[in-house]
Amino acid sequence: MKKKILLIQPENEKINRFRRKQFNNFVQITMPYLAGFIDESKYEIILVDEYRQRIPFRRTFDLVAITVNTPNAYHCYEVAEKFRAHGAKVVMGGPHVTLLPEEASQHCDSILIGEAEATWPAFLEDFYTGQERAVYRSEGIPVLKNLPLPRWDLLKRNPLMKGAVFATRGCPYRCAYCNLKQIYHDRFRVRPIPEVIREISLMKSKFFVFWDDNFFADKAHAIELMESLKPLGKKWAAQVTLADCNDDELLERAREAGCLYLFVGLESFSPSALRGVNKGINRVHSYRDIIGKLHKHKIMIQAGIVFGFDEDTPATFRHTLEACEELGIDGVTVSLLTPLPRTPVYAGMKEERRLLNEDWSLYNGKTDVVFRPRNMTSEELLEGYLDFRRRFYSLPSFIRRMKVSRTHLFYNFIINLGYRLALKR
């Protein structure tokens, strides 16, 4: 007899309100990917993405699986308790569970710690036979071969935003505010290129994103993959480091393969701030030349900018805006520094008693400041961040940036308009 399983891609109300204002949000890949591992001869699958769907609390399920990131943790715990009260078993995995397994285990029946390629199928088999354990931990480093296709068919979402794939896992760097090293095994890995290409070829959307943390980290793999991608005629984006964008061969291959923009974590225009969080691979004096190379190859730059470093002052917001306009940065994903659990930044702020609270629902990097900055008040940090977003996505700023960039003006306008309309809402 089949067991009923509900897969939940959660999103608490606060971050949902923030994201729904923007129409250019690509889907999260986690739950469609994990659904691909499920044997449908044993399980009946329902997948819910809270970005656009409501959780069916009135329905009966044997098992509820939830992926948990830090800002959604308390929300996930509440969801779990509601289902457990009606007799369902709940299993949790994801970044927050891996970072704080003792906390998460108090709110569910089983937890999956670390990467799930081995533990998730093992848990599903154990649960089906009634022998599931309380803790499953990723011991060996998963080899990313022969992976199942994500079950996009289970997801009710705009097909234009369903395109997501990963070709690599991990990152060789150790930025102090990043928790990748605590979540993944500390080894960079790649997927077989034919498997990645097949997955992309089956996507209905012309547009997709690589969900990799550092797409260019293995240059040979990236070049071979992009060469194989060219015949598909897709348009795509990926996350890379600024240093790798100094490579004309990589950029030329990316352009030929249909790359529209690259997400690059600039983080700051302050060399001392970058050194302070172990982001020394970014050289501020090289920003102009490298961004110029991106534009020369007709690739837009979506820059990651973080406010709240110890070196930041109230003047940082204006200086950053001026620099972005002068360099012709096409778009920004701007965030508040967030001391995520078990990162060096978190440990340092906790020791210095600078954390304002440990309410994980506020740790989303978009709506709240959760620590005391060094050179301004927390209120000044939040207001400066909000004001930067308003000014950057204003029409005058867009015009100034486009005079420098002159790259994919139509796509650039649409992306900027999406953020601008979100701010007006």
Q: What is the CATH number of the domain that holds 17?
A: 3.40.50.280
Q: At what angle do helices 409-424 and 378-392 cross, to 10 degrees?
A: 140
pLDDT per residue as tens, the chain (425 positions): 899 999 999 987 777 776 665 555 667 899 999 999 999 999 999 999 998 889 999 999 999 999 999 999 999 999 999 999 999 999 999 999 999 999 999 999 999 999 999 999 999 999 999 999 999 999 999 999 999 999 999 987 655 556 899 999 998 888 888 888 888 988 899 999 999 999 999 998 899 999 999 999 999 999 999 999 999 999 999 999 999 999 999 999 999 999 999 999 999 999 888 888 888 788 899 999 999 999 999 999 999 999 999 999 999 999 999 999 999 999 999 999 999 999 999 999 999 999 999 999 999 999 999 999 999 999 999 999 999 999 999 999 999 999 999 999 998 998 888 788 777 66
Angle in degrees, CA 293, 295, 298, rounded to 5: 115
pLDDT for the residue numbered 130: 96
pLDDT for the residue numbered 334: 95
Asked whether residue 79 falls in the same domain as residue 19, the answer is yes
Asked whether residue 131 falls in the same domain as residue 185, the answer is no
Residue 108 lies in a domain: yes
Residue 157 lies in a domain: no
Asked whether residue 101 falls in the same domain as residue 190, the answer is no
Asked whether residue 92 falls in the same domain as residue 199, the answer is no
Residue 147 lies in a domain: no
Place of tokens 């999260």: 28
Asked whether residue 206 falls in the same domain as residue 267, the answer is yes
pLDDT for the residue numbered 58: 94
Which residue, 63, 107, 125, is CA-closest to 88? 63
Element (H, E) at 361: none
* Cα–Cα distance for residue pair 419/394, rounded to 1 Å: 10
Residue 142 lies in a domain: no
pLDDT for the residue numbered 159: 56
Asked whether residue 332 falls in the same domain as residue 394, the answer is yes
Asked whether residue 183 falls in the same domain as residue 60, the answer is no
Residue 145 lies in a domain: no
CATH of the domain at 214: 3.20.20.70
Paired residues of 301 in beta bridges:
262
Element (H, E) at 219: helix 219-229
Residue 148 lies in a domain: no
Asked whether residue 200 falls in the same domain as residue 344, the answer is yes
Asked whether residue 7 falls in the same domain as residue 93, the answer is yes
Residue 155 lies in a domain: no
Please say which residue of 137, 152, 183 terminates a domain. 137
Count of domains observed in the chain = 2
Asked whether residue 271 falls in the same domain as residue 382, the answer is yes
Asked whether residue 275 falls in the same domain as residue 403, the answer is yes
Asked whether residue 221 falls in the same domain as residue 87, the answer is no
Residue 114 lies in a domain: yes
Please say which residue of 103, 137, 171 terminates a domain. 137
pTM over 0.85: yes
**Which range of residues forms the domain containing residue 85?**
3-137
How many other C-beta atoms lie within 10 A of the C-beta of residue 344?
A: 17
